[in-house]
Amino acid sequence: MKEFVRNCRLCKEPMKSSPFMMCPTCLKDSEQVRNFIQKNPQVSLAEISRYTNVPFEKVEGMVFLGHNRKVELESELY
């Protein structure tokens, strides 16, 4: 039987089938970003990227996918 492969929703890399929509690396990065935002809710996306060592493009992708409320928080500020 052929193994089912799909792409990670965040980095678009092929990954083995799993109950998650993201690859293990992106899941770890997402958790790291989420924890940082919970402790520092008023930081910019650039600061999130710098302090978590997660690439800026990936942080933007997380926002786009709705993995955190950063967009809502920033829109309330402006």
17-67 pLDDT per residue, tens? 888 889 999 999 999 999 999 999 899 999 999 999 999 999 999 888 875
Q: Number of folded domains in the chain?
A: 1
C-alpha span between 56 and 62 (Å, rounded): 10
Q: Find the helix or strand (DSSP H, E) in which 5 lies.
A: strand 5-7
- Joined tokens for residue 47: 């600061």
Any residues with CB less than 8 A from the CB of 58 and at least 6 apart, and which? Answer: 10, 11, 26, 29, 49
Q: Is residue 35 part of a domain?
A: yes
Which pTM value belongs to this model? 0.73
The range of the structural domain enclosing residue 28 comes to 21-77
- Joined tokens for residue 43: 């930081």
Q: Are 45 and 63 a contacting pair, CB within 8 Å? A: yes
Q: Is residue 44 part of a domain?
A: yes
